[in-house]
Amino acid sequence: MKKTLLFIALIIYTLSLSAQQDEQMIRQIYNEALTSDVAHHQLKWLCENTEGRISGRPEAAKAVDYTYQEMLNMNLDRVYLQPCMVKAWKRGQPEKAFIISGKQQFEVPVSALGLSIGTGSGGLHAEIIEVYDFEDLKELGREQIEGKIVFFNKPMDPKLINTFAAYGGAAGLRVNGAAEAAKYGAVGVVVRSLTLAKDDFPHTGVMHYEEGVEQIPAVMISTNGADFLSEQIKKEEGLQFYFQTSCYTEADVVSHNVIGEIKGSVYPDQIISIGGHLDAWDNGQGAHDDAGGCVQSMEVLRIFKALGIRPNYTIRAVMFMDEEIAQRGGQKYAEQANANQEKHLMAFEQDRGVLVPRAIAFSAFDPENEKHQNFKALLKPYNIEVIKGGGGVDIGPLKQFYPDIVFGDLITDDQRYFDFHHSGNDSFDQVNKRELQLGAAAIASLIYLIDQYGIN
């Protein structure tokens, strides 16, 4: 009986000691992140020196070189480039757009959509017709649309608390608007920018044409511009609109994912990936989308190195290329992992902006799991929830080859994210340094816990 009680006491003592060690380590992780300027300096460099780094452009190649060298300087166990072919879409000269009312012209801010064709040097001049969505196109029919520019004026729904849901409710007009409008004989499309903010920053984003449907040029108009245009259409029947773009697509070119890793000391062949996408739209600096996610990923490895944490599993940071246009980097990463017969335990993606971290999500989370309850308790003092969820565009292709892989991501306060997303407003000065550091610390803490105790 005495031996049994001593054994139980020893177990309790061991568990208590382990909990104290975990608390101390997470405190050290936060201390290291919150007192370091490295990630903030990296973000500043990327924003100021590789602005406009859409895949296929020299700025994207410069970002590849920089992050490769930064990870080499960290003395990681392995740093390498992974080639992938990417589309090479070019914006060309700055866009111009005017509302034409009699002899008056009112200039409005527009931005060409990614993969759109250009208007040519003469621009496009036609009557503009306002619609809300694709159902309006059906109701109007070819007779009322043919030969006109279609203006999709559907705002993001401000009643939705989750702004990503609000974005999803309107994004289809940007992606498929040109193809749908062309079926009714439209000669061009103008799409309201996807933000709840009222400003003069026209957004952009990728769009797609449909095989067998005529390709027509497409732009986004700022929210202030959209409101003004809508007012003018209501005032004047047959209102005219003009826009000029010179965008075009060249042949595919070679770019790279940038990868750095710390080898696992116990399970070196089992991999936990963390990453963000290095490319960004060419109308801004891409601070929130997604240079911030990239430097936070590198910061996790830097923190592990600084604190002498030798992980059990291989921890790999991936700077993905081409998320914005065709997601070729994520697909190549998955295909190469399968070809190399790698074992992928978990993939974590940061692509929700450098804002206040609210939660860590991973797909295997179970509120009844004692281990996961412990994760929650350890992160609660840092105002981080642990919840079920996770995923991302770049890590998604891994599911083809690893059906049991666990996905994760950092959930940030999303209320201001679409003020920046895909616009010229996405700049370094819109990032709060402490929010950047807190996000990196939260990610590093969860990765540390999963590395120590496994996922399930």
Please write the tens of the pLDDT for every residue from 382-437: 999 999 999 999 999 999 999 999 999 999 999 999 999 999 999 999 999 999 99
* Tokens 């306002």 -> residue: 130
Question: Where residue 277 falls among pLDDT bands split at 50, 70, 90?
Answer: very high
* Tokens 């910061």 -> residue: 299
Question: Where residue 226 falls among pLDDT bands split at 50, 70, 90?
Answer: very high
Residue 6 has pLDDT above 80, yes or no: no
Bridge partners, 410 (sequence order): 360
Could you tell me the two tokens for 293? 């996610």
User: pLDDT tens-digit profile of 236-266?
Assistant: 999 999 999 999 999 999 999 999 999 999 9
Within its chain, how far is the Cα of 136 from the centroid?
31
User: pLDDT tens-digit profile of 108-167?
Assistant: 999 999 999 999 999 999 999 999 999 999 999 999 999 999 999 999 999 999 999 999
Question: Where residue 14 falls among pLDDT bands split at 50, 70, 90?
Answer: very low
How far apart CA 369 and CA 378 sit, in angstroms, is 14
Residue 9 has pLDDT above 50, yes or no: no
pLDDT at 2: 58
Question: Where residue 3 falls among pLDDT bands split at 50, 70, 90?
Answer: low
Question: Where residue 4 falls among pLDDT bands split at 50, 70, 90?
Answer: low
Where are any strands of DSSP class E within 92-154? 96-101, 104-107, 110-112, 124-131, 149-152
Residue 381 has pLDDT above 70, yes or no: yes
Cβ atoms of 163 and 417 within 8 Å: the answer is: yes
CA distances from 258 to 44, 49, 70, 291, 397 (A): 19, 18, 11, 13, 17
Mean pLDDT score, 7-27: 68
Residue 227 has pLDDT above 60, yes or no: yes
How far apart CA 245 and CA 113 sit, in angstroms, is 10
Mean pLDDT score, 289-296: 98
How far apart CA 143 and CA 116 sit, in angstroms, is 25
How far apart CA 99 and CA 91 sit, in angstroms, is 22
CB atoms within 10 A of CB 17: 10
Residue 8 has pLDDT above 90, yes or no: no
How far apart CA 449 and CA 376 sit, in angstroms, is 11
Average pLDDT, the chain: 95
Could you tell me the two tokens for 11? 């177990």
Question: Where residue 188 falls among pLDDT bands split at 50, 70, 90?
Answer: very high
Residue 270 phi, psi dihedral angles, 5° rounding: -110, 130
* Residue among 357, 351, 358 at smallest CA distance from 432: 357
* Residue among 156, 183, 187, 159 at smallest CA distance from 171: 156
Q: What is the pTM of this model?
A: 0.93
Question: Where residue 15 falls among pLDDT bands split at 50, 70, 90?
Answer: very low
